Amino acid sequence: MDLPSAIDHVRPAVVQIRIQRDRLNKGAVVGTGFWVHGDGLVLTARHVTRDSREQIAKLGAGRLVLGMAIPNLTGPPVTIRSSFGIVEAEVVEEDPRHDVALLRAADNPFSSGRSSGVQQVGSAVTVNPLYGLADFSDAPVRDGEHIAVSGYPLAEPALITTSGGIASAFGTDVAEVQAPRGPVGLTIPDTADSYLADVAVNPGNSGGPVYRTSDGTVIGVCVAFKVASAQLETQPSPFFYNSGLSVVVPIKYGLDLVSRHAS
Amino acid sequence: MDLPSAIDHVRPAVVQIRIQRDRLNKGAVVGTGFWVHGDGLVLTARHVTRDSREQIAKLGAGRLVLGMAIPNLTGPPVTIRSSFGIVEAEVVEEDPRHDVALLRAADNPFSSGRSSGVQQVGSAVTVNPLYGLADFSDAPVRDGEHIAVSGYPLAEPALITTSGGIASAFGTDVAEVQAPRGPVGLTIPDTADSYLADVAVNPGNSGGPVYRTSDGTVIGVCVAFKVASAQLETQPSPFFYNSGLSVVVPIKYGLDLVSRHAS
Amino acid sequence: MDLPSAIDHVRPAVVQIRIQRDRLNKGAVVGTGFWVHGDGLVLTARHVTRDSREQIAKLGAGRLVLGMAIPNLTGPPVTIRSSFGIVEAEVVEEDPRHDVALLRAADNPFSSGRSSGVQQVGSAVTVNPLYGLADFSDAPVRDGEHIAVSGYPLAEPALITTSGGIASAFGTDVAEVQAPRGPVGLTIPDTADSYLADVAVNPGNSGGPVYRTSDGTVIGVCVAFKVASAQLETQPSPFFYNSGLSVVVPIKYGLDLVSRHAS
């Protein structure tokens, strides 16, 4: 599969995570998510759900909604650009250790019988949001495999896809945690796998699917980029920049959540 | 066409846009442009021509010139590095809405009969700047298509090419404009298409050609990169960085200018 | 060769350059290097050896060591992550003009007869660091050729690989130097070739191999990234960022050092 085909394969699964103040408000995009199960379940990053709660608290109002893309069309018969169907969602479970969270849509498109996309019968045109389930792969990831990230960074009104290689399939995050059956205070190392990707991502990409471009299968969830700093001789203090390396949570941690809540 | 071949295909069409103070001055590069018509017409970004005027006003002297690359050679018989032939140019028309501008060379290489590149006859070597017309494509652009940007960023003395995918073929910029035949103050939305590219560009790339690597055809003009910001917990204020997403003006807006001024 | 295969081809040759305070100390990574000759010779960037001396002077203790990766394994029988074998090294020769330096390992793995990697005989598992010599290529480099950089940036515990194209095969750095047989003060231009790469690199990548992904042959040494700046209208001062363009020293300058010190 080439990159354009892989993007089209994943596209229906990708949703915006927005905070909407009221019914008339378009809302602000706080991250990205993707459909993982026909029960109306969406996977995203846990810091996206945490940020959503903080924003709702700050606003004193608002709710978490999903923005489902309506296909771009350059008419005739109609021209559509950057339009979204909106559906409410609730947080089902969060995993702060691995930065993944599961949402459930209030109105499940997979059980609504509503068509996905654009249908034209005679002169009548029916336009519905795109939706579809992501495919997953638990085949081992190799350094250098070509991958892509799709999502809604930088408040852009259209789906954004960036791509590159796996920079390291062996990123790790080791935390000391309480031993399950040990005395209080006895800790053991808890290793959380992660991948590093040579892919440019930005605020808003969090929670989006990271997928192999060879077959469009999702291997992880985009959660962060590494910030680096450098010092110029001509400047008094170092400057910070996006290193170009992004952090990917392996999909297995997300599927653990799904397996506990899918019918 | 692989990337090296696509670069060699586009290379003769790319020129520097410089401000030169006087005949002996090498000038400062303010952007990039490319030959679009045998009448000696060059396309660039409108903010490059605007910046040129501002710089000339600030200097109180100077003129807009084109720097045409002379082929790099590692002798024998000669060694040439980062050399340019210079020709004066004037602004023909500017389109501030879409950030494109058209220039005309005072001395048109396409009608001079001068050869392009390096010729050796016996022991005599003739060296002339490279020049050639860009090819264009108005075939629809798809998310994920592989593209490249060539130009003269960061005051580098050699042609620089960066590449990647179309991040979104559906960027849009909507402005409210006066309705053509409406009463004063009645505005209508004016949508300007743009593409976002997953390609690293920098100051000086503006006005350069963005082309498909599959066949070397130009699909747009490089005009900007998106600046993003992020906040570190350890720092009092957010930092800004190049997001890695660059803005491409579709070639149709440039060809509109060409069609009004070519013979 | 695809990118994953090219990485695996180069992987055994890549080492960390660390400053270790004492035998129990893990040390801090200051850069990357790679095995270039069976005499136990490692090539790196000269500013890495200079930085190492400065850090040792600041610490008042410490020595330069090489970190050789032990293969990552996800058991059974054993699980290994981000582990390294350590061997002392000394600086053999430095070339400040071209920013390359040659090191020699105190304990040469190529003459130790020790196996490289993981061997299992029955239930016995032997684990040794990976080591192997890099392959080189002096075939001319073309703009747009696909290349990769492997190394240890940003204190990451695993090998990091980023990739992209040659942005320019004709970067040059011209310095005025004393003419060899001329009177004192008579200078001549001294041109040092360099390449620019469209590859994201970061502090710690310095000294690492830059190689063709088509065959895994090393064409240069990673030494720097270009810093760029931009001004936002809303901000009082410009911000600095990693331009995405990195500087590569052609391998010929490194091989000059090797040829003077290999048996």
pLDDT tens by residue, B130-146: 999 999 998 999 999 99
Residue C190, pLDDT > 80, answer no
CB-side neighbour CA atoms (13 Å) of A146? 16
Q: Do B164 and A160 touch (CB under 8 A)?
A: no
Q: Do C6 and A171 touch (CB under 8 A)?
A: no
pLDDT digits (tens, 9 = 90+) for A19-60: 998 877 778 999 999 999 999 999 999 999 999 999 999 988
* pLDDT at residue C174, rounded to an integer: 63
Residue C7, pLDDT > 90, answer yes
Residue B172, pLDDT > 70, answer no
Residue C124, pLDDT > 70, answer yes
B161 falls in which pLDDT band (50, 70, 90)? very high
- Residue percentage of chain C with pLDDT more than 90: 72
- C130 close to C150: Cβ distance less than 8 angstroms: no
* pLDDT at residue C117, rounded to an integer: 87
H-helix or E-strand spanning residue C248: strand C239-250
Interface size A-C, in CB pairs within 8 Å, comes to: 91
Tell which residue, C146, C152, C164, has the closest CA to residue C216.
C146
C185 falls in which pLDDT band (50, 70, 90)? confident
A230 falls in which pLDDT band (50, 70, 90)? very high
A188 touches chain C (CB under 8 A): no
Strand intervals (E) in C123-180 = 124-128, 146-151, 160-178
Determine the distance from the C-alpha atom of residue C21 to the mean position of all C-alpha atoms in its chain, rounded to a whole number. Answer: 22
Mean pLDDT of B189-193: 75
C214 falls in which pLDDT band (50, 70, 90)? very high
Q: Do B203 and C228 touch (CB under 8 A)?
A: yes
- Name the β-bridge partners of C88: C65
Q: Which amino acid is at C251?
A: I
CB neighbours (10 Å) of residue C116?
15
Give the residue from chain A lying closest to C81, CA to CA. Answer: A170
Cβ within 8 Å of residue A84, ≥6 positions away: A16, A67, A68, A69, A70, A129
* pLDDT at residue A125, rounded to an integer: 82
Alpha helix (H) residue ranges in chain C: 3-10, 46-59, 109-112, 251-261
Q: Do C160 and A241 touch (CB under 8 A)?
A: no
> What is the nearest CA distance from B87 to chain C, expressed in angstroms?
23
Tell me which residue in C145, C170, C244 faces B4 most closely, judged by beta carbons: C145
Q: Omega of the bond prior to A109 within 30 degrees of 0, cis?
A: no
pLDDT digits (tens, 9 = 90+) for A56-101: 999 888 999 999 999 887 767 677 888 899 999 999 999 999 999 9
CA angle A173, A177, A180 (to 5 degrees): 130
The percent of chain C in helix, strand and coil, each rounded to the nearest 5, is: 15, 50, 35
Tell me which residue in B144, B168, B241 faces A4 most closely, judged by beta carbons: B144
Determine the distance from the C-alpha atom of residue C180 to the mean position of all C-alpha atoms in its chain, rounded to a whole number. Answer: 31
Least confident of B8-17, B78-87, B238-247, B253-262: B78-87
DSSP B181: T
Mean pLDDT of B50-79: 88
Residue C172, pLDDT > 70, answer no
Residue C222, pLDDT > 90, answer yes
CB neighbours (10 Å) of residue C83?
15
Q: Who has greater pLDDT, B251 or C177?
A: B251
* pLDDT at residue B9, rounded to an integer: 98
- Residue percentage of chain A with pLDDT more than 70: 96
Mean pLDDT of A120-125: 81
Tell me which residue in C8, C158, C161 faces A171 most closely, judged by beta carbons: C158
Strand intervals (E) in chain A = 14-20, 28-37, 41-44, 63-70, 83-95, 100-105, 117-121, 124-128, 146-151, 160-178, 187-198, 209-212, 218-230, 239-250
State how far the Cα of C218 lies from the Cα of C215, in Å rounded to an integer.
9
Tell me which residue in C82, C154, C240 faces A226 most closely, judged by beta carbons: C154
Query: In A, residues 24-53, which contact B (CB 8 Å cutoff)?
Result: none
- Residue percentage of chain B with pLDDT more than 90: 72
Sign of the C-alpha dihedral computed for residues A105, A108, A114 and A118 taken in this order: positive
The percent of chain B in helix, strand and coil, each rounded to the nearest 5, is: 15, 50, 35
* pLDDT at residue C173, rounded to an integer: 65
What is the average pLDDT score of chain C?
A: 92
A16 touches chain B (CB under 8 A): no
> What is the nearest CA distance from B176 to chain A, expressed in angstroms?
16
Sign of the C-alpha dihedral computed for residues B124, B129, B130 and B133 taken in this order: negative
pLDDT digits (tens, 9 = 90+) for A194-208: 999 999 999 999 999
Least confident of B12-16, B99-103, B240-244, C230-234: C230-234
- C176 close to C188: Cβ distance less than 8 angstroms: yes
Sign of the C-alpha dihedral computed for residues B147, B151, B154 and B160 taken in this order: positive
Q: Do B200 and C239 touch (CB under 8 A)?
A: no
Q: Do C165 and B161 touch (CB under 8 A)?
A: yes
Residue C15, pLDDT > 90, answer yes
* pLDDT at residue A26, rounded to an integer: 78
B206 falls in which pLDDT band (50, 70, 90)? very high
DSSP C13: G
Q: Do C161 and A171 touch (CB under 8 A)?
A: no
C178 touches chain B (CB under 8 A): no
B55 touches chain A (CB under 8 A): no
* pLDDT at residue C159, rounded to an integer: 96
H-helix or E-strand spanning residue B60: none
Tell me which residue in B170, B230, B244 faces A162 most closely, judged by beta carbons: B244
Residue B175, pLDDT > 70, answer no
* pLDDT at residue B193, rounded to an integer: 86
Residues of chain B with Cβ-Cβ distance to C144 below 8 Å are 2-7, 148, 161, 163
Does this model's pTM top 0.90? yes
C238 touches chain B (CB under 8 A): no
